[in-house]
Amino acid sequence: MERVRKRPRTDTAAPSDPPNTPPQAQSAHPTPEIQSPLPSVPFEESDALPTTSPDVHHHISNSVRQRENIYKWVHHHEEQDDQAINVLYFKFYAVPMMLKRNTQDFIPNLKDHILARILGRAYDGDEVSFSDDERDSIQICDNYFYRHKVLRVNYTSYDLRRCQDSINPRTHPDIMLLSHDDEPHPYWYARVIGIFHVNVFHKGPNSTSPDKKRVDFLWIRWFGRDLNYRAGWKARRLHRVGFLDAERPGAFGFLDPAVVIRGVHMIPSYAHGTTEEYLSPPRSVARLPLDEVSDWQYYYVGM
């Protein structure tokens, strides 16, 4: 099944190590303690979010209660060989004949995402890749990232009414955004695994401010549309999507909440059943918000 989405470049630079933390030291010691392996905030925990103004596009809590050391948290999931955090893939080169292993990592990809936004790069669907030196210009304050329960999004409905969706990784995780592919279907779809913010400093010659900056972001898992399935108004059938294989670069990513249009209702295709083929291990962090151990083979996009 072909999944429609722009693919990230495969010639990215090797990921940089956490500041002042040699990789040997990380692998030589047992997994550091973390508060929670979850990417989402449990129901019983507090993450106060006041009333959202209708004049803003989106709203995320300012709470800093649900904080986690990002390097320890990522290291914990790397030790589980979780493909959602650390994906190894191989690339063949004809001349000279060689096999090169590339790594798609959570923290370097997050820094790429943050740096692109700070530098004002318009989002066009492509994953922007920076060098190690450029990534090092992003300093995450105290190495903390902060989890949140809910993202509220204001949008205009088809009948020109002002509406609001609450995106929650535990109960209402699926979103839609504008497609940047040259094909008729106008939307992309993704599942929100976690809602976060970090406080960062941007150093170096391209820095425009010495001040600390808050950056809100979503960690998402992409759906791809099934091109072999006739769907749409003329076919009188809902569009069918499925998760991208985690072994493919670009199966996971980060989004600015500002590009989210609204939530979307994904209807599992019960007739096709479930599979563990697209992601391992079964208890991957990408499935933890919904407490699942496998994925539905297909979903239908509720219209």
Q: Is residue 205 part of a domain?
A: yes
Domain assignment present for residue 9? The answer is no
Cβ atoms of residues 12 and 129 within 8 Å = yes
- Position 32 scores a pLDDT of 58
pLDDT of residue 102: 39
pLDDT for res 106: 92
Note whether 275 and 295 are within 8 A (CB). Answer: yes
Considering the domain boundaries, does residue 123 fall inside one? yes
Q: So what's the pLDDT on residue 184? A: 85
The alpha carbon torsion through 202, 204, 205, 211 (nearest 10 deg) reads: 40
Give the count of domains, the chain: 1
pLDDT value, residue 125: 80
Residue from 155, 153, 144, 110 nearest 129 by CA? 110
Expressed as residue numbers, the domain containing 84 is 35-301
Residue 154 placed within a domain: yes
* Spatial separation of the C-alpha atoms in residues 112 and 127, rounded to whole Å: 8
Please indicate, yes or no, if residue 223 is contained in any of the structural domains.
Answer: yes
CA distance 263 to 165: 6
Q: What is the pLDDT of residue 86?
A: 77
The amino acid occupying position 178 is L
In-domain check, residue 4: no
Q: Is residue 1 part of a domain?
A: no
Instruction: Going from the first residue of the chain to its last (303 residues), give the mean pLDDT of each consecutive group of 10, the final group possibly shorter.
Output: 41 40 40 82 92 95 95 92 72 40 71 95 85 95 97 94 95 95 89 98 92 97 93 92 91 95 96 94 90 94 87
Other Cβ atoms less than 10 A from the Cβ of 23: the count is 10
For the entire predicted model, the pTM comes to 0.84
Dmax (CA) for the chain in angstroms is: 60
CA distance 58 to 150: 10
**pLDDT score for 163:** 95
For residue 215, list its beta bridge partners. 198
274 is a domain residue:
yes
